Structure 1
Amino acid sequence: MGKPSLESVIQYWFDEMKPKYWFVCNAHIDANITARFGTLYEKLAAMKPAVSTAPVDTLARIIVLDQFPRNMFRNTHRAFATDALALALSKAGLEAGQDKGLTLTQKAFFYMPFMHSENADDQERSLMLFSIPGLEDNYRFAIAHKAVIDRFGRYPHRNAALGRASTAKEEQFLQEPDSAF
């Protein structure tokens, strides 16, 4: 297997990976992503976030910094360690209009760092971004994510991984079905 490239990220995520596996807990997929893209993740995590001239390369960087850590470092603080970098890339890419030429599915992942943010303003922007026709399923998830941030100011399901104490209300919430994303 050669050195991973931004192009290989796009090929893997959108061509090789079946959409039904994008958001599931699967040890085989987690190990595969780690083996194939772990070195690229470490390289990008150590760099200052900068958009590429090619929008699809910016998208690849966002996926590496936002999606892949959730697989590579599942249930640990590192799963969220590069969220701010991914969000900075998404914001800069949007400012440059880089989402305009992407497919709807690609746009969803370009916008995903807003949904993953624990910032209320980012959640508002997430709703706006996912409100475009064709992203209705993502929009429903954006509403659900925003509701959790509005209620708690953070994602309680991250507390254990991030070493945060949960409040009694958060503990109660975490017992509810579908409380974790």
Structure 2
Amino acid sequence: MPISPRAKAVLGYWRDLGPAGWYAGGESLDAEIRTRFEEDWNTALSGGHRSWMHCPEGILAFLLLTDQFPRNMFRGQGKAFATDPLARRAAHYAWQNQLDLRIDEPMRQFFYLPLEHSESPFDQDRAVALIKARMPETGAETLLHARAHREIIRRFRRFPFRNEALGRETTPEERAFLEAGGYMAIVRELQG
């Protein structure tokens, strides 16, 4: 069964953007992703695009659409995390069946990011283990960031930088963490 044209569009866009653009963010990129893919995201949110799950490339497109793209399309809003459960289920299916290994690095990392974006300690540990085991060529930087996410969950049991978007109260400890550099402070700590 051939990959759907919309799944191809997702993959082509992300590949063209490349590693330098994947984490760049910014309103221009966010708006472009929103314009091009918000309708597809809404389809996935309402239960569509399940046909993408028949092959590794389709699953990767689904993961990008449900895990990466909403973080751009809805930056600073709770809606950015609305399809995280869909992405986690797809990611679990993929790595349990070793379908992630059929995608070359560094694109393979997007099979593990739904776990890394989870506020579950189990998912965090699994993300670190999978990156260590399955990204031998390009995984060092990805592993550093996975370890940073895991450390934040170990300390706070959630990501404090999501609190405002999700309407959660920020504790004094979380506020101090955010004011001291938040996520990037953890990255620097792990590098040191």
Q: What is the TM-score when the length of structure 1 is the normalising length?
A: 0.92
CA distance change for structure 1 residues 49 and 8 in 2, over 3 Å: closer, same or farther?
A: closer
Would the alpha carbon gap of residues 171 and 4 (structure 1) be closer, same or farther in structure 2, given more than 3 Å must change? farther
Conserved 8 A contact 1:4-1:37? no
User: CA offsets per residue over residues 93-141 of structure 1, 9 Å max, x none?
Assistant: 1122211211111210111101000000000101101113121110000
CA contact (8 A) 2:121 2:150 kept: yes
Distance (whole Å) between structure 2 residues aligned to residue 174 and residue 147 of structure 1? 14
- Letter of the aligned partner of 2:21 in structure 1? Y
1:167 pairs, out of 165, 171, 184, with 171
Name the structure 1 match of 2:43. 43
* 1:137 corresponds to 2:138: no
Aligned to 1:22: 22
Instruction: Show structure 2 runs of 5+ residues with no match.
Output: 188-192
Match of 1:106 in 2: 107
- Residue 154 (structure 1) aligned to one of 152, 158, 182: 158
Task: Give the superposed CA RMSD.
Answer: 1.9
The one-letter code matched in structure 2 to 1:150 is R
Matched residue count:
178
The one-letter code sitting in structure 2 at the alignment partner of 1:145 is H
Alignment of structure 1 residues 78-89 onto 2, 5 Å: 78-89=79-90
Unaligned runs of 5+ in 1: none
Q: Is the helix fraction higher in 1 or 2?
A: 2
Please tell me whether residue 176 in structure 1 is matched to residue 184 in structure 2: no
- In structure 2, the residue corresponding to 1:52 is in which secondary structure? helix
1:131-174 superposed Cα distances (whole Å, 9 cap, x missing partner): 13121110000111100000000000000000000110000001
Report the TM-score, using the length of structure 2 for normalisation.
0.87
Counterpart mapping for 1:113-124 below 5 A: 113-124=114-125
Is the 2:128–2:143 contact (alpha carbons within 8 Å) kept by the matching residues of 1?
A: yes
Which residue identity does 1:139 align to in structure 2?
A: L
> What does 1:88-103 align with in structure 2 at a 5 Å threshold?
88-103=89-104
- Between 93-102 and 72-81, the greater mean CA deviation after superposition: 93-102
